[in-house]
Amino acid sequence: MNFLLEGFFQAFDLLLSGNAETYSAIWATVKVSSYSIGSSLLIGIPLGFCLGYFDFSGKKPVRTIVDTLMALPTVFIGQLVYAFLTHRGPLGNFGLLFTLPGIAIGQTILALPIVIGLSATAVESMDQKLRITIMSMGANRRQLFISTLWEARHGLLAGAIAAYGRVMTEVGISMMVGGNIKWHTRTITTAIALETNKGQFGLGVALGLVLLAIALCVNISVSFLRRRY
C-alpha cells in the first residue's frame, strides 16, 4: 500500500509546483461547472417556483417526472447530447461536440431536474399564511416571486449545492461529449479515471484532493451566507 502514500506526496508536489496538466483540468472543470450550474439555476428556479407554488391539472405527474429525472444516468445524458451535437445531429452545425460548452449543455440537463425539484419542495414547505400576507400587502407578481424565493432561500441553497455536487463529480457526460481531450476538454473527473487506469496515482490523487477542496469551499461559503442572511 506504499503506492497510496507515494501518490499523496506526489499529489502535493504537483499542486504546489503548479503542474500545467493538473491546473488545466482544474480550470476546465471550474469553467464548465460554472456554465452549467448558472444555466440550471436561471432556468430551474423559476420552473421550480411555478411547480411548487401553483396548482394545475397534471401537477402530480409532472412532479413524478421531475423526481424521476433527478436520477438520470450521466452516460444516458451523454449519449443523448452526443447524438444531438454530432455532425449528423440537428445541432451538428454549431460545432459544440468535444468542447466545454457542449459538456455544459449536458451537465445543465443533469442539474436541471435537481434544481427544479428541490426549488419546488422549498416553495411548497413555506407557511401558507406567509403567501396570503404577501398578497394582501398588494404585491405584484414580480414582488411575490422575489419575496417567495427570499423566504425559501435556504432550500434553494440546498438545491444549488446538490446540483453543483452532481455536476462536479459526473464522468459520463464529460467523457462522451467532451472526448477527454488533453489541454482542452479534460476535466478533473475524466483525468482521475484516465490517470488511475494508467497507474498514475499521484495526478489522480491530486485532482481528487482538489475536488474535496472545492466541495469544502462551497460548503463554507454556503454556511457563511446562511449566517449572514
At 112-160, the pLDDT tens digits run: 999 999 999 999 888 777 777 777 777 777 888 888 888 888 889 888 9
Q: From residue 126, how far is each of 19, 22, 60, 129 by CA, in Å? A: 48, 44, 19, 9
pTM above 0.95, yes or no: no
Whole-number percent of the chain with pLDDT over 90:
44
Q: What is the pLDDT of residue 209?
A: 83
Give dist(CA 186, CA 179) in Å, integer.
8
Return the half-sphere exposure (C-beta side, CA atoms, 13 A cut-off) of residue 38.
8
The boundaries of the domain holding residue 212 are 2-228
Asked if residue 129 lies in contact with residue 61, where contact means CB atoms within 8 angstroms, the answer is no
Dihedral through CA 217, CA 223, CA 225, CA 229, nearest 10?
A: 180
Amino acid in position 71: A
Kindly report which listed range (46-55, 72-81, 100-109, 201-210) carries the lowest average pLDDT score: 201-210
Residue with cell 445524458: 77
Which of the four pLDDT bands, split at 50, 70 and 90, describes residue 178?
A: very high
Q: From residue 119, how far is each of 80, 104, 157, 188, 191 by CA, in Å? A: 25, 21, 9, 28, 32
32 φ/ψ angles, rounded to the nearest 5 degrees:
-70, -35
Give dist(CA 139, CA 64) in Å, integer.
31
Give dist(CA 88, CA 218) in Å, integer.
39
125 φ/ψ angles, rounded to the nearest 5 degrees:
-80, -5
Q: Is 109's pLDDT higher than 80?
A: yes
Q: Is 39's pLDDT higher than 90?
A: yes
Return the half-sphere exposure (C-beta side, CA atoms, 13 A cut-off) of residue 69.
20
Which of the four pLDDT bands, split at 50, 70 and 90, describes residue 78?
A: very high
Q: Mean pLDDT throughout 12-36?
A: 88
Q: What is the pLDDT of residue 229?
A: 62
Which of the four pLDDT bands, split at 50, 70 and 90, describes residue 227?
A: confident
Kindly report which listed range (133-142, 164-173, 192-201) carries the lowest average pLDDT score: 133-142
Kindly report which listed range (104-113, 131-140, 160-169) carries the lowest average pLDDT score: 131-140
Q: What is the pLDDT of residue 212?
A: 83
- State the chain's mean pLDDT as an integer: 87
Which of the four pLDDT bands, split at 50, 70 and 90, describes residue 41?
A: very high
The domain spanning residue 191 has which CATH number?
A: 1.10.3720.10
Give dist(CA 21, CA 191) in Å, integer.
10
Dihedral through CA 201, CA 205, CA 206, CA 208, nearest 10?
A: 140
Q: What is the pLDDT of residue 202?
A: 76
Q: How many residues does the chain have?
A: 229
Give dist(CA 14, CA 144) in Å, integer.
50
Q: Mean pLDDT throughout 51-63?
A: 90
Asked if residue 22 lies in contact with residue 194, where contact means CB atoms within 8 angstroms, the answer is no
Q: What is the pLDDT of residue 203?
A: 75
Q: Mean pLDDT throughout 89-117?
A: 94
Nearest to 167 by CA among 99, 95, 115, 219: 115
Domain count, the chain: 1
Give dist(CA 91, CA 85) in Å, integer.
5
Q: What is the pLDDT of residue 38?
A: 95
